């Protein structure tokens, strides 16, 4: 097998984009990613696209839109993946497998979503399709309602941790201020995030607006290459590990706060890498809701079950802490264009490892973790990245 290497990337600003659709968003990153890698379109052997869609646009067949927006890529084989909020990582891992199998030497991976043109009530309904619709499809509040129930369960077992959730939100907004790609570059302190108000109303269960990620547009791209191609290029970042785990879709058939899939994905990735969690310099994790980040602290091994709140309370996951989590601002501040998220997370860590993260930079970062999750801890992807050159 041939280990794939990340050799280039590109990223749009997340937010409410002027680009009318995913075709335009993908065109904004396709050629810039190849230019960053130092490769031309003729070098690309496969295109791997992650777009959730499922109603955000009448136009589907999203893989075919790359060449429509970037005609010099016409004729290159393509495929599109969908795995809920882990759609981007699904595309990336498919591309990595494509290179590892020897079927190609260069792959272009693009994740994108155009969400802001869809009315808010329709957005909630579209996102609920990533739940088990026969049982969860009518939960009030859309997917926030699903995580509202998860949060309620956590609080019932482990006490009200609203203040710690507010601390996570405030941390990620503070970090997002340093990220030029972030959707929301605005600070909110813990007191604001922890207070229900007209500007920060309850959304579902204990969750307030500041506990919820943003409805965003955006795209991100990565270029993967085989080692013999990467040898002649400027940069190369390897997957020290990449692991995937699944779980049952219906919350009724599992413990909703165990996050067993994320726990198994992290354990497998750390075992592959021969590392402990504190060997990493940073982690970009899937904070679709602040509750998710808190429970993911437990899944990655920063805290025992029911004790994830201690990691933020003790400052471990702050930018100046022992293990900075979401120095980019995470989904909470950077934004969450569904198909783009997993690719974006890998770009953020790659930038850190190359020392190109600007004001977000974690000093001396040589190893970084990525955790991307589809649905309520149903599809879990965990990568550990390491700079080779």
Q: Catalytic one among 11, 85, 183, 288? A: 85
For 228, 236, 238, the CA distances from 3, given in Å and listed in that order, are 10, 11, 8
Helix (H, G, I), strand (E, B) or coil at 31: helix
CATH architecture of the domain covering 5-118+216-230 = 3-Layer(aba) Sandwich (3.40)
| pLDDT tens column, 166-187 | 999 999 999 999 999 999 999 9
Q: Are strands 237-246 and 5-11 parallel, antiparallel or unpaired?
A: antiparallel
Q: Report the alpha-carbon distance of residue 168 to residue 240 in Å, rounded.
A: 28
Q: For residue 15, is pLDDT > 80?
A: yes
pLDDT of residue 2: 75
pLDDT at 306: 97
The one catalytic residue among 212, 336, 346, 354: 336
Query: What is the distance between the alpha carbons of residues 34 and 88, in angstroms, rounded to a whole number?
Result: 18
Residue 388: burial class (beta carbons within 10 Å; 0-12, 13-18, 19+): middle
Distance CA 129, CA 184 (A): 26
Query: For residue 1, what pLDDT is reported?
Result: 60
Average the pLDDT over 33-48 and give the result: 98
Q: What is the number of helices (H) and of strands (E) in the chain?
A: 14, 11
pTM above the 0.95 mark? yes
The stretches of the chain forming alpha helices (DSSP H) are: 22-37, 65-69, 87-100, 120-128, 133-136, 143-158, 162-176, 190-193, 227-230, 260-273, 290-299, 309-313, 330-334, 341-353
CA-to-CA distance for 348 and 326, rounded, in angstroms? 9
CB–CB of 8/39 below 8 Å?
Answer: yes
pLDDT tens per residue, range 219-271: 999 999 999 999 999 999 999 999 999 999 999 999 999 999 999 999 999 99
Any idea of the CA torsion for 316, 308, 180, 85, to the nearest 10 degrees?
150
Residue ranges per structural domain of the chain = 5-118+216-230
Q: How much of the chain exceeds pLDDT 90, in percent?
A: 98
Task: Examine the residue annotation and report whether 85 is marked as an active-site residue of this protein.
Answer: yes
When the pLDDT of each residue in the chain is averaged and rounded to a whole number, the result is: 97
User: Catalytic residue at 336?
Assistant: yes
Residue 372 β-bridge partners: 381
């Amino acid at each position: 097998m041939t280990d794939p290497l990340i050799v280039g990337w590109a990223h749009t600003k997340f937010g409410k984009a002027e680009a009318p659709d995913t075709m335009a968003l993908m065109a904004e990153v396709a050629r810039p990613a190849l230019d960053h890698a130092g490769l031309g379109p003729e070098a690309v052997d496969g295109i791997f696209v992650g777009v959730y869609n499922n109603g955000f646009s009448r136009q589907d067949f999203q893989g075919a839109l790359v060449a429509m927006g970037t005609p010099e890529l016409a004729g290159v084989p393509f495929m599109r993946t969908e795995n809920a909020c882990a759609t981007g990582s699904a595309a990336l891992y498919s591309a990595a497998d494509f290179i590892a199998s020897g079927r190609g030497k260069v792959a272009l991976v693009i994740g994108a979503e155009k969400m802001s043109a869809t009315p808010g009530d329709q957005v909630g309904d579209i996102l609920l399709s990533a739940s088990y619709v026969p049982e969860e499809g009518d939960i009030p509040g859309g997917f926030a309602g699903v995580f509202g129930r998860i949060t309620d369960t956590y609080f019932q077992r482990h006490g009200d941790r609203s203040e710690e959730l507010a601390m996570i939100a405030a941390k990620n907004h503070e970090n997002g201020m340093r990220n030029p790609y972030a959707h929301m570059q605005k600070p909110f302190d813990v007191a604001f995030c922890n207070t229900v108000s007209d500007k920060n109303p309850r959304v579902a269960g204990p969750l307030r607006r500041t506990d919820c990620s943003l409805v965003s547009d955006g795209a991100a791209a990565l270029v993967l290459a085989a080692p013999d191609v990467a040898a002649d290029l400027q940069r190369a970042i390897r997957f020290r590990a990449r692991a995937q785990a699944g779980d049952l879709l219906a919350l009724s058939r599992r413990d909703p706060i165990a996050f067993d899939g994320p726990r198994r994905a992290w354990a497998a990735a750390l075992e592959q890498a021969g590392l402990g969690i504190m060997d990493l310099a940073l982690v970009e994790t899937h904070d679709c809701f602040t509750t998710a980040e808190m429970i993911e602290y437990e899944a990655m091994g920063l805290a025992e079950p029911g004790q994830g709140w201690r990691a933020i309370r003790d400052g471990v996951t702050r930018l100046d802490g022992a293990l900075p989590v979401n120095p980019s601002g995470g989904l909470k501040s950077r934004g969450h264009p569904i198909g783009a998220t997993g690719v974006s997370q890998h770009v953020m860590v790659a930038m850190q490892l190359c020392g190109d993260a600007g004001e977000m930079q974690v000093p001396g970062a040589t190893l970084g973790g990525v955790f991307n999750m589809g649905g309520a801890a149903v599809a879990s992807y965990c990568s550990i990245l390491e700079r080779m050159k």
